[in-house]
Amino acid sequence: MRFIPQRPGERVKVLTSGPDAVAVTRHIGEPSHVAFDDGSQVAATCVNCPTTPCIRYRPDELGQETGLDITYSPDERVCAFDAISDPTGTQTPEIDTVACTGCGLCVTRCPVGAIHLTDSGIAAVNTAPNDRFQFGTTYSADEFREMTVSLAEMLLAPTASDVLRDGYLAARLAAVIRSVREAPNARNTFNVLVRNYVIALGMPAKVGVAGDTSSRVDMVFASDGTVGIAELEPGEDLLDAVRRLLADTAIAISRSGARRDALLAVIVTGRLPNARSGYFELISDVEAILALRIHTLPVAVLMLANDAGVRIGPSDLDRYFVVNQEIKSLIEDAGMVLRDPSLHLDGLGLTPGK
């Protein structure tokens, strides 16, 4: 099968013949390195995927039957801040450095590691051809897909110390929170951001349309027969998120026949709860009285998991990502969300690298 350009001049890059690639290693502050079996290496570069996965999802990536009767947002954007686009129409992504918050989602969407996080905490894409990656038109769509898939399988996440360098994660998180708050539709922006992180973790997820009353639940996600119900709270009102989640859970159990033990109830928070708010006390009351465990998932953990290339399922969520009073104190001691490089990823149940 020959690749048929959709538009005049449309072309992709391909790996030229030569030594095989063996690893693609991501870094912070510089483009990824593609290493070959003869010891040579080049910078990873954008190969101009026709479907631009760094910019949008395929519809099948956003679909998942959960049996819950809510209206979902069809938003296909990878970037909740509209900071990545293809202005020339040549499948060459460009990053808007003002809008970019460094959330890291486009970075992990790229199958060939062509997007990286800079030292200043935003995304950058390398698009220049090099010795091994060059524009070509005489190849097949299957061959192109095979190339991207095999490179994707060789991707190695940045090292823990790289990701957890002092203040780096905190700065990106602050930028994300600020941009959510300043967005024209803050709730919607947050919804899309969180959904995309959860998809990056390997769990298909759908979010409701903010403000639409038939979108009762903020987010549903599913994996391994477990249905996850989540309320997403970008602001401070976490107690309200608990109340909404209790109502969501009651409705899911009552109307969809979901079993309490097959439900995963999650609150995704922009910031960790204020100690005085009584949030963790309420969570433990809910567990004691309603036999329902609510998992608190800060965006910081989602960001970190995405950076580390971790793919997890609901049972991991139960085991590793329950943020309770203990872990919260640990995080606070580390000084505003994971600034301490010694708080290595294993401590949170995350193992770097794919």
By CB under 8 A, name the one of 58, 260, 311, 319 that touches other proteins.
260
Based on the shown chain and the rule CB under 8 A, indicate whether residue 290 belongs to the binding site for other proteins: yes
Shortest Å distance, C-beta 324 to other proteins:
16
Q: Which is nearer to other proteins, 236 or 281 (CB)?
A: 281
Based on the shown chain and the rule CB under 8 A, indicate whether residue 288 belongs to the binding site for other proteins: yes
Based on the shown chain and the rule CB under 8 A, indicate whether residue 212 belongs to the binding site for other proteins: no
The phi and psi torsions of 263 (rounded to 5 degrees) equal -100, 140
Q: Which is nearer to other proteins, 57 or 279 (CB)?
A: 279
Based on the shown chain and the rule CB under 8 A, indicate whether residue 181 belongs to the binding site for other proteins: no
Q: Is 269 helix (H, G, I), strand (E, B) or coil?
A: strand
Helix (H) or strand (E) holding 189: helix 186-200
Q: What angle do CA 309, 312, 318 make, to 5 degrees?
A: 135
Beta bridge partners of residue 25, listed in sequence order = 33, 156
User: For helices 186-200 and 299-307, what crossing angle results, to 10°?
Assistant: 40
Q: Which residues in the 228-247 window bind other proteins by CB under 8 A?
A: 239-240, 242-244, 246-247
Q: Which stretch binds other proteins (CB under 8 A): 42-50, 96-104, 283-291, 343-351?
A: 283-291
Q: Which residues in the 44-73 window bind other proteins by CB under 8 A?
A: none
Shortest Å distance, C-beta 246 to other proteins:
6
The phi and psi torsions of 300 (rounded to 5 degrees) equal -55, -40
Based on the shown chain and the rule CB under 8 A, indicate whether residue 255 belongs to the binding site for other proteins: yes
By CB under 8 A, name the one of 4, 65, 289, 333 that touches other proteins.
289
d(CA 254, CA 180): 34
Six token digits for residue 270: 């922009």
Number of neighbouring beta carbons within 10 Å of residue 40? 12
Query: Contact 312/201 with Cβ under 8 angstroms?
Result: yes
Q: Which is nearer to other proteins, 183 or 286 (CB)?
A: 286
**Interface residue list for other proteins (CB under 8 A):** 239-240, 242-244, 246-247, 249-255, 260, 278, 281-282, 284-286, 288-290
